[in-house]
Amino acid sequence: MIAYPQIHALFYMAKVRRCACASGTISSLGINSVLMYHHPTWETDMKTALLFPGQGAQEAGMGRLLAENDSGTMELWKKAERISRLPLRGIYWEGEGAETAKTLNVQPALTVFNLSLWLKVADSFHPEAAAGHSLGEYSAIAAAGVLPLDDVLELVSLRGRLMHEADPEGRGTMAAIVKLDRAQAEQCVVEAVKTSGEIILIANYNTPSQFVASGTRAGINALQEKVRQYKGRILPLAVSGAFHSPLMSEAALEFAKALDGLPKNRWNRARFPVYCNADPRPLTDPEQIKVLLQKQIVSPVYWIDTIKRQWEAGCTTFVECGPKEILGKMVGPILAEGAPAATSGAADALPWKVVFINDAQQ
């Protein structure tokens, strides 16, 4: 059995401008008070995959410390507010509760936060791959230069509005399934669909023992009983709709029109391969990426396959830019199956490394 990495934490105070990176210790990154979790050895010959989290990673206060110490980051937040027409700083820096969880607000706010972190370290290392979980996919395509930042902010603002409005009657919902393997989780869905006749599917394949189901409320209620019969656990999620399911079809159609409406010269070949949620393979062609973005709202997130394929492509260091340590914590459970056995339980003996980059909230 492979032990998971022991992540070490370093807090860099406001006047300290150094952090461990793929090219060694990099000075003068211009990051004030950034909380950076890293494995002690992050060598220059390691191929790096860049990861961005999606909805659920947001938190009150995210980005404030960095923005108040960096004028460029503050301008980025203001730009996101102009494009989205939402008071994002007021919602996330001064407010809390329901407003911070609304997909309408989350999508532009989390995207601007993810990208503000990336822009601070972008000159320090060159990723070999990028991916984002659900909403995070838009941070990945921006980081890879597939679309300009302004266009990405326009798209996620529209995506948030469409998904917010897609289910005004609250027909759909989502729930996390844990303590079951993939075959068991899928079998629970098959049986729940058969008994209820409702729309239910696995929307997120997160780790070998963590999945998210999406569907009608009646369908998810039927699924709860099946999961318990298989000795698993199912946890309702506080979301405003059945994301990554056919219940988002109307939103997906409208969003596809917006993608098609972008001028061809706005789309660029990716600077490094992007692994898209709906079909995680290394893509640089903007037309192929656009097709998968059009499918994403109604398609499952194949995150297990994403990490495995990045690993198979030679990536051994996984860097997550976001508010919380979410995606990086999934790397160990995903790669533990079939990875070379470590010679000891020490983190240095493991064949992969995990790095978290986060604006400090203290």
Q: What is the pLDDT of residues 167-210, one digit of tens each?
A: 888 899 999 999 999 999 999 999 999 999 999 999 999 999 99
* Amino acid 214: pLDDT: 98
Number of helices (H) and strands (E) in the chain: give both, helices first. Answer: 13, 15
> Looking at residue 5, what is its pLDDT?
29
**Mean pLDDT score of the chain, rounded to an integer?**
86
264: CB partners within 8 A, 6+ apart: none
Comparing CA positions, the residue from 30, 72, 330, 328 lying closest to residue 208 is 330
pLDDT digits over 110-134, tens only? 999 999 999 999 998 899 999 999 9
CATH 3.40.366.10 region(s) of the chain? 8-166+248-359
Give 132-169 pLDDT, tens digit per residue. 999 999 999 999 999 999 999 999 999 999 999 998 88
Ranges of CATH 3.30.70.250 domains, the chain: 172-239
- Tell me what pLDDT residue 96 has: 75
**Amino acid 338: pLDDT:** 60
Mean pLDDT of 28-53: 57
Percent of the chain whose pLDDT exceeds 70: 83
What is the distance in angstroms between the CA of the first residue and the CA of the last residue of the chain? Answer: 36
**What mean pLDDT is predicted for residues 299-304?**
98
Kind and range of the H or E run holding 160: helix 149-165
Please write the tens of the pLDDT for every residue from 54-86. 999 999 999 999 999 999 999 999 999 999 999
pLDDT tens for residues 323-335?
Answer: 999 999 999 999 9
Structure confidence at residue 28 (pLDDT): 30
Pairing, β 200-207 against β 172-178: unpaired
At 328 the pLDDT is 95
pLDDT band (50, 70, 90) for residue 97: confident
* 10 vs 69, higher pLDDT: 69
Between 4 and 151, name the one with better pLDDT: 151
CA 15 to CA 28: how far, in whole Å?
A: 10
Closest CA to 55 of 267, 258, 277, 219: 277
Helices 103-121 and 149-165 cross at an angle (nearest 10°) of: 160
What single DSSP character describes residue 264? G
| DSSP state letter for 93 | I
Over residues 35-58, the mean pLDDT reads 71
Report the SS3 class of residue 151.
helix
315-321: strand order across its sheet: 8-11, 34-38, 353-359, 315-321, 47-52, 129-132, 274-275, 282-283
**Which of 159-168, 239-248, 250-259, 342-351 comes out lowest in average pLDDT?**
342-351
Q: What is the CATH number of domain 8-166+248-359?
A: 3.40.366.10
Could you tell me the maximum CA-CA distance found in the chain, to the nearest angstrom?
61
pLDDT at 213 over 90: yes
The catalytic residues are 134, 244
CATH assignment of 172-239, among 3.30.70.250, 2.40.390.10, 3.60.21.10, 3.40.50.740: 3.30.70.250
Q: What is the pLDDT of residue 348?
A: 56
* Percent of the chain whose predicted confidence (pLDDT) is above 90: 77
